[in-house]
Structures are given as C-alpha cells and as structure tokens.
A and B are shown apart, each in its own frame.
Chain A
C-alpha cells in the first residue's frame, strides 16, 4: 500500500515515531557490546594487638625480667608506599619508663638512666625497654624494624621507649597480616622503690 501517498499525515507520524524511537532509545548495538567496569580501592590500614596487657610480675635485682605475654601487632595496609607501625610510651608523662605513680613516685627509666636510645639491661641496674622481631606470617611487603628495637630476644639489649612516637616497623608497599612481636624487659636496682609500676604503650599504624 502506498501509504505515503494515500495517508501522508499517518506516514509522517510513523516516520517521526520511528526516528524518535531510534534517536532516543538506549544505545542500540548489534554484534559487540562493551561495558566498562570501574572500581576504587580505598586506603585501608589496620593494626591489631594480640593483647592489651602484659605483666612483669614481681621483679627484683637478681635478674633482668621479661613481661608475659609478648605483644604481637598484626599489620595490614594497602597504600602503595606501605605503612609504618609506631610506638609511643606514657612513662611518667615526661619520660618513658615504668612508672610508680603512687607516692613516693618513681620512674624506672627507659631504657636506662639518661634515656639513651638503647641499653643493655643488667640485674641490679634500673632499666626498661622493648625488643622487636618480625614473623613469617602475612603476605605482601615485609616489615623493616627500626634498629632501635631490633634486638635479639635472647639478649638484654632493649630500645628505649619515649613519650614521642617512634617508628617501630614499616613496609614499603601494601602488606597483609604481617606481625611484629614485642618483648618487654626490665631490671631494677637496690634503690628502686617497692610498689606497683605501670606503663601504657600505644601502637599506631599510618600510611607512608
């Protein structure tokens, strides 16, 4: 039927309908269709500690004592440049150490008198600090320990804690479930006041 001759209005309407449908329809393709998938992976850093308390028990001048348990921090982070686990000590609020806050107050200095970076603890001499080691757990970038704390657990050399934040370990790339084990050691002298001592150590993870 020659509708364009016989019914011009209908024909123009149908023509317009067709082009409207064609022009405003969703993308109409035949053969291949392409879909772009996008995603943003957000920055994610987590640190968890294995315990929130560790205790030296009763200590005396006869030995260098180790708190129980050690504290393990598990680190995961995905920044491309990695992340850093840092440590900060409460001490007496001014200096790091184990602190007897009841009168008479007393601070077992960390790591030793004069607050050097490290000290080799010995029985009968006041001192307090930590040793750090990594495990094989986890994946991704391995952790590098700050030399201040990278001391063998079998020895008594410790790194001193401070009231300012000091890096403990770091990765150079994303890492997952990497562990840092911290051993706490202390020794007292004959002048160390008897009583209860405590300290609060804060671990934090930040993007590099």
Chain B
C-alpha cells in the first residue's frame, strides 16, 4: 500500500514539475527556440474553367445537365451558370420547381433557382426561357467538379448549361438573397457590403423575378431593375422585364446585370432594387463582387436585330495576352406584332470572326403585345490563350425584324501579373521604417563608408499585365558578388546569386525598433519609375516578402525597403542585388540591378619618422640618410604598398630647388662616390611580405624612385604590426651644386 502511495506521489511530482517547466517557459518571454520553416506562399494566379454543355433531356428525377470536372487548384472559386430551358420536345408546359435547378459540388447544392422555371412547348413564343446562377465556393478543394442538375415536373424538356469557374480571384465576395416582394416603388432586393479595399470592382448581379399574381401579367419597366452603389446606378435593365400571369409559362425570368465600378471606395455597399408595374412580383438576387483583375466592359444600347447577323456590341480590349473570361448579359425583346424566333446558335459570342459561345436552343418571342415577348439571357466563354488586345462581339440574327437586343459585355483578364525590377536607391540606415540620407542618386551604384556598415535599399517592382492582388506573390531578395565582367548586368552574366539571409556576407540587418514586414515610411528621396504611381509596401529584415500592404494595379510600382548590412564582406568589393519570386523564379524583366561596393580595406600604415636626412653629401662617398624609415603595417587581408617621390616634378630625385636648381637623379643603379645617384633599399623580416626586387637591394645598389607609384611590397595575407625598413642612399658628383636638396617620398597602403 505504501509502495503504491509512493508511486502516486512520485508520479504527481514528476508531472507537476514538467507542467511547471512548460508554463515557466511559455510565460518567461524566452525567445522561440525553433523557427519552423515559414509556409511558402504560392502566387495566387487566377485561372478559370469552362463548360459549354449540350442539350440534355431533363427527367422527372434529378438529371445532370452539365458537369465540369476542373483541374483547378484549391482556393476560392466563383461559379457562373447560364441555363437555357426548352420545352419543345415535350410539347407541353414543363416546370422546374424552385430549388430544382441546382449548382452542386460533391453532391452538395451550392446554389439553386429561387423561383420556378417554366416553358410551354406547345405555345409559340413560350417554348424557351433562361435563368442564371452564381456562387462563391470559398475554400474549394483542388480539382473540384461542378455540376448543374435539374428536375422537371414531366418528361421531355431539355436543358443546357454553360458553366464558368473563376479560380482564386485576388479578392471577391458573394451574397445570396432571398425572395422579396417587389413593390411598385423601388424595392431593395438585396444589399451586399463586401469587405474590400478601395479599387476597381466588377459586380455581377443575377436576378430572378416571378410573377405570382393571378390578376395579370407584370413587368419591370426598362431601367427599373437596378444595380447600385449608394444612389449611383451602375447597371439596369435595358428593356422591360415582362412576366406572364402566374398561370402562364413565362411567369419567371432570369436577368444578368453587370457593372464595372471603377474607383470604388473601400467596403462599398451594393444593392439590387426593382419596382414592378403592380403587386405580385417577387424578386431574388445573387451578387458577386471581384476585385484585382483587369477587365473591360461594354454596355450597349438596344440594337435592332436583323435577319442577317447583326452586331449588338463589340468590345475591343486593351488587355494583355493570356487567359480571358467573357461574360455577356443579353436581353432581347420583340417589338413587332408577330412571333419572332432567334434560332439556336444565332445569339453569338464571337472573337476573331469565330463563334465561341451561343444559345443552345431557339428563343421564341411572343408578339409585341404579349407578356412573353422578352427574354433575359447570357453567354459565357473562356478564352484560354487570348492575344493581346483581343476583340469580342455579341451578334444575333432573327427570323424576322423587330427584335431589339442589348448586351452587357464583360471581359476579365486572368493573365498573370508581370514583374519588372524597375528602380532602386541606396540610403543610410535608420532605426526606423524611414531611411537616412541617400548614398547615391537613384539607380546609381553606391559605396559604403565603412566596413560592416548598415544600409538600406529601396527597390521598385513594376507590375504589368494584371493587378497584383494584395499578398498576391511572395518574393525574396538575392545578392551576388559582381562578376569578372565588372557589370551588375540584367543578364546576370558572371554573377551567382544567393538569397540574402541574416548570416550572408551581405545580410539583412535587424534594426532594434522596426519589425520585419511592417509598412515602410515613404521618403522624399525614394526611387520613382517615370510617372508611375508607387504603392508603398513593407520594411524588410528577412526574406520572404510580399505586397502585404496593398494590391498593386497593373502599370504601377510596388516599393519595398530592405534593411541590409555588410556582414564581413570583402573590402572594396561590389555586390549586385535582384528580386526573384520566392520559389527562385526570375522576374519577367530587370531594368536595373542595384550594386553596392563595400568600404575599402582598413589598412593601417605608420612611419617611424617623417623626415630623414643625408646631412652632407660629398663626391667622395656614398651616403645613407638617417634615420632609416620603418613602415609598420597592419592589414586584415592582403595589401600592397606603393612608393613614389616628388623629385623636381618632372623627374625623380633629390632636388635643389634654389638657383642654380639641380636634381640628383634617382634610378636603379649601383651608387658610386662622385657620381650622382639616389634611391632606396627595402627589407623586411616577415617572409609573407614580398619586397619588389627593384628595391630588395643591398650594398650600394638602390632601386630608383619614380614620380608614379611603384609597388614597394605586397602581401597576400593579413599582417599585424609588420615592418618594412627603408634605407635611403645617395651619391653626388662635383656637378651637383653645393646647397640644400630635398625630396618627398609618399608611401601608399591599399588592399590588393
């Protein structure tokens, strides 16, 4: 019993101690002991998938109309569906009840029709109708399959879908409304306030109306279905949305409103409103908002559709080459007192003269006085490899004149942003998100003033092609010692770049105050890139970095501030910098390559005396000046010492500057008494210091001095307080006039 008790006590103590240690560590403020590798942030490149379905007979049980198996990466997907319903085969009224047109993923319904969808295959002008669905599938897995299913109340009807999926748009939001009774005054159908930064927004509102009135038809007059931001109408119906009496087939209608809200404020509020001709109409809307993608938009007036192909609208874009998605909202209405038909394939979305997307089934329109004379519709397409400045058209042709058509044509570029290293400037360091004084002009190499100096590099990346969404791409800074070609060239010839870390010879510098990744503080001396707008980003003390402050629209430049230092780099050595994507991929282009040169080597040289004197020179002897000069050198690396003298300014030697002037010339020679001559001998006891043989002489042999520097000694390794002794010798002839002579010898110590 006692043994068991002791075990329990011991176990309790052990666990208590462990817990105490753990909690002590947690709350101690000790630094993190292991830095887990940061998650590599992949570039969020928007892409898309598209299905242009075929006619499918809709059964009375759930029938797949179309299935789009994508190979999209995981992320947020925006799905737009245009569904055309045709009851011709059934030759009877067929209805898809509310909720029975379904957009699904993995068996789960994402979106469905709010109201019934009905067509009358037996009555001219009522045989076809269309509706649309949209949904934002946030956090979708990779390779999702989206399917659209429908279930009718009887056999024989047909359906067809076009499904467009936009994967990982930089920013988006979605709202799905509920059925709202539409009054005869402006009624809000849906309000959506996306949490988005200010920018250019694309807004797509899918509207479905259903007339529940048994008293008669209803309509929403032209312009009375509105997509608004605040009081500003961004888009509206071109033609009246006409709805049959509740017992009629064409009692419900889908309609697509599209707007491009340029310069929208942050967190805008969008509303869909409508007013009907009389009570009984219910409305429902779904809104998606996209931001961060280049787009162009065309909202046309009504165009009379002829019996030959008629252009409703042409949108000549200036978008970059790459992937485009095209969304066309189309509304058509018959204005003549006769049934009109637009046959299958005759409402067309075209590019390059080729039809890319069209209506699967005929559209029949009742006569102008009927309540089934109007249709809302849409066409979708994905242009995977669009050329730059692609042009898109919506066209139509009808069985007879009298149909007016209108389109809202939206083209969204999903082209990847392009990145160009466009400008830079070096600054002195500050313990701040601001920088010190410039070290050099913009795009100009700089030199550090001292070994180990900290400095700042502010660099611009120009964004082309498409907007770089916030946090849209991770980058890293690399450096390389300049190659033998002495060029920090944009082709990187001769350079081997490596990532800048905190331990590389050019390293990130940890300033005490600012933290890595915080927003930089703009400086009046910051680099610019032409007239491009600069989008300030972050102060960086570590790789990687991204545009975490704000999105960078195409045509603008992001600016980053790198805190760096000479971390034991070679003296007087030039290093080049470049930004690459975090996976090491090069940017699309480099206009400039920053280069900085480390401070020259700190070599100390001292001389034992600054004068030496020959006293009396006589033709009778070779003289040695006194004292000899000891040159003491300390160098942390290889060095060289050079020597030159002043002579008479034209030639080296001992010079008598007073009249009559005279120069005892200096040359390599064996001095002899009675002959003019002057030079030096150099010696050292350090075997690692190599004395130039010219001066490594003894006896009366001397090396001649020169006006231009000559190498006196070199060393390939560091030395400390090593001495080179200089002996000065001279001889004179009788021709050297008596008097005072002098010379100035300059010793220069520098890095090899």
Binding site for B on A (CB under 8 A): 25-44, 46, 76-80, 139-140, 173-177
CB-based contact A32/B614 at 8 Å: no
- Chain A residues with Cβ below 8 Å from B664 are 39
Taking the nearest CB of chain B, how far is it from the CB of A84, in angstroms? Answer: 15
CB-based contact A36/B736 at 8 Å: no
Instruction: Give CA–CA (A40, B613) in the complex, Å.
Output: 8
Contact partner of A174 (CB less than 8 A), chosen from B625, B737, B750, is B737
Instruction: Give CA–CA (A39, B746) in the complex, Å.
Output: 17
Q: Is B611 an interface residue (CB 8 A)?
A: yes
CB-based contact A40/B614 at 8 Å: yes
Contact partner of B736 (CB less than 8 A), chosen from A25, A32, A38, A174, is A174
Contact with A along B597-621 (1 / 0, CB 8 A): 0000011111111111111111110
Contact partner of B606 (CB less than 8 A), chosen from A29, A140, A173, A174, is A29
A173-B660, A175-B734 given; A35·B745 CB < 8 A: yes
Contact partner of B738 (CB less than 8 A), chosen from A28, A79, A140, is A79
Contact partner of A37 (CB less than 8 A), chosen from B620, B732, B745, is B745
Q: Is B391 an interface residue (CB 8 A)?
A: no
CB-based contact B618/A32 at 8 Å: no
- Please list the 10 inter-chain residue pairs (A to B) with the smallest Cβ-Cβ separation, ordered nearest first: A39-B614, A176-B734, A76-B734, A33-B747, A42-B616, A39-B741, A37-B743, A80-B737, A43-B738, A140-B735
Contact partner of B615 (CB less than 8 A), chosen from A32, A40, A140, A175, is A40
Contact with A along B724-752 (1 / 0, CB 8 A): 00101010111111111111111111100
- Chain A residues with Cβ below 8 Å from B611 are 35-38
Instruction: Give CA–CA (A26, B604) in the complex, Å.
Output: 12
Q: Is B46 an interface residue (CB 8 A)?
A: no
A28-B604, A42-B617, A42-B618 given; A36·B735 CB < 8 A: no
CB-based contact A44/B619 at 8 Å: yes
Taking the nearest CB of chain A, how far is it from the CB of B548, in angstroms? Answer: 36
- Chain A residues with Cβ below 8 Å from B629 are 35
Given contacts A27-B607, A31-B605, A32-B747, 7 further A-B contacts (CB under 8 A): A34-B610, A36-B610, A37-B614, A39-B742, A40-B739, A78-B732, A177-B734
Q: Is B631 an interface residue (CB 8 A)?
A: yes
User: What is the interface size of chain B, counting residues whose CB is below 8 A from a CB of the partner?
Assistant: 52
- Chain A residues with Cβ below 8 Å from B605 are 29-31, 33
- Chain A residues with Cβ below 8 Å from B618 are 41-42, 44
Instruction: Give CA–CA (A177, B616) in the complex, Å.
Output: 21
Q: Which of B606, B631, B738 has the most A CB atoms < 10 Å from its CB? A: B738
- Chain B residues with Cβ below 8 Å from A76 are 619, 734
CB-based contact A77/B734 at 8 Å: yes
Instruction: Give CA–CA (A123, B168) in the complex, Å.
Output: 137
Instruction: Give CA–CA (A37, B605) in the complex, Å.
Output: 19
CB-based contact A39/B607 at 8 Å: no
Contact partner of B608 (CB less than 8 A), chosen from A26, A40, A174, is A26
Chosen A-B contacts, 29 in total, with CB atoms closer than 8 Å, are: A27-B607, A29-B604, A30-B603, A30-B604, A31-B748, A31-B750, A33-B607, A33-B631, A34-B610, A34-B746, A35-B726, A36-B611, A36-B612, A36-B744, A37-B611, A37-B645, A37-B743, A38-B614, A39-B654, A39-B730, A40-B740, A41-B617, A41-B736, A42-B616, A78-B735, A139-B735, A173-B660, A174-B735, A175-B735
- Chain A residues with Cβ below 8 Å from B660 are 80, 173
Nearest A residue to B728, CB-CB: A37
Taking the nearest CB of chain B, how far is it from the CB of A48, in angstroms? Answer: 13
CB-based contact A35/B747 at 8 Å: yes
- Chain A residues with Cβ below 8 Å from B674 are 176
CB-based contact A38/B741 at 8 Å: yes
CB-based contact B745/A80 at 8 Å: no
A37-B743, A39-B613, A80-B739 given; A32·B748 CB < 8 A: yes
- Chain B residues with Cβ below 8 Å from A177 are 734
Nearest B residue to A77, CB-CB: B734
Taking the nearest CB of chain A, how far is it from the CB of B591, in angstroms? Answer: 37
CB-based contact A78/B743 at 8 Å: no
A35-B744, A39-B615, A39-B617 given; A28·B735 CB < 8 A: no
Nearest B residue to A207, CB-CB: B738
Instruction: Give CA–CA (A76, B673) in the complex, Å.
Output: 14
Taking the nearest CB of chain B, how far is it from the CB of A68, in angstroms? Answer: 30
CB-based contact A35/B735 at 8 Å: no
Taking the nearest CB of chain B, how far is it from the CB of A25, in angstroms? Answer: 8
- Chain B residues with Cβ below 8 Å from A30 are 602-605, 749
CB-based contact B616/A40 at 8 Å: yes
- Chain A residues with Cβ below 8 Å from B741 are 38-41
Instruction: Give CA–CA (A177, B608) in the complex, Å.
Output: 40
- Chain A residues with Cβ below 8 Å from B750 are 31
CB-based contact B739/A37 at 8 Å: no
- Chain B residues with Cβ below 8 Å from A37 are 611-614, 625, 645, 654, 728, 742-745
Instruction: Give CA–CA (A174, B617) in the complex, Å.
Output: 15
Q: Which of B604, B612, B734, B743 has the most A CB atoms < 10 Å from its CB? A: B734
CB-based contact A174/B734 at 8 Å: yes
Instruction: Give CA–CA (A139, B659) in the complex, Å.
Output: 20
CB-based contact B732/A41 at 8 Å: yes
Instruction: Give CA–CA (A174, B742) in the complex, Å.
Output: 19
CB-based contact B746/A38 at 8 Å: no
In residues 683-734 of chain B, which contact A (Cβ within 8 Å)?
Answer: 726, 728, 730, 732-734
- Chain B residues with Cβ below 8 Å from A79 are 737-738
Nearest A residue to B608, CB-CB: A26
Instruction: Give CA–CA (A80, B659) in the complex, Å.
Output: 8
Nearest B residue to A36, CB-CB: B611
Nearest B residue to A37, CB-CB: B743
- Chain A residues with Cβ below 8 Å from B625 are 37, 39
Instruction: Give CA–CA (A42, B114) in the complex, Å.
Output: 121
Instruction: Give CA–CA (A43, B620) in the complex, Å.
Output: 12
Contact with A along B644-675 (1 / 0, CB 8 A): 01000000001010011000100000000010
Q: Which of A33, A140, A176 has the most B CB atoms < 10 Å from its CB? A: A33
Taking the nearest CB of chain B, how far is it from the CB of A34, in angstroms? Answer: 5
Taking the nearest CB of chain B, how far is it from the CB of A177, in angstroms? Answer: 8
Nearest A residue to B611, CB-CB: A36
- Chain B residues with Cβ below 8 Å from A25 are 606
Q: Which of A43, A46, A76, A78 has the most B CB atoms < 10 Å from its CB? A: A78
Instruction: Give CA–CA (A33, B611) in the complex, Å.
Output: 11
Nearest A residue to B600, CB-CB: A31
Instruction: Give CA–CA (A32, B660) in the complex, Å.
Output: 32
A41-B616, A41-B732, A42-B616 given; A36·B739 CB < 8 A: no
- Chain B residues with Cβ below 8 Å from A38 are 611-614, 740-742
Instruction: Give CA–CA (A47, B410) in the complex, Å.
Output: 115
Taking the nearest CB of chain A, how far is it from the CB of B710, in angstroms? Answer: 15
Taking the nearest CB of chain B, how far is it from the CB of A112, in angstroms? Answer: 38
Q: Which of A25, A28, A36, A37 has the most B CB atoms < 10 Å from its CB? A: A37
Instruction: Give CA–CA (A38, B733) in the complex, Å.
Output: 17
Instruction: Give CA–CA (A42, B620) in the complex, Å.
Output: 11
Nearest B residue to A82, CB-CB: B737
In residues 408-467 of chain B, which contact A (Cβ within 8 Å)?
Answer: none
A28-B604, A33-B746, A78-B737 given; A40·B610 CB < 8 A: no
Instruction: Give CA–CA (A46, B674) in the complex, Å.
Output: 12
CB-based contact B602/A29 at 8 Å: no
- Chain B residues with Cβ below 8 Å from A46 are 734
Nearest B residue to A139, CB-CB: B735
- Chain B residues with Cβ below 8 Å from A35 are 607, 609-612, 629, 726, 744-747
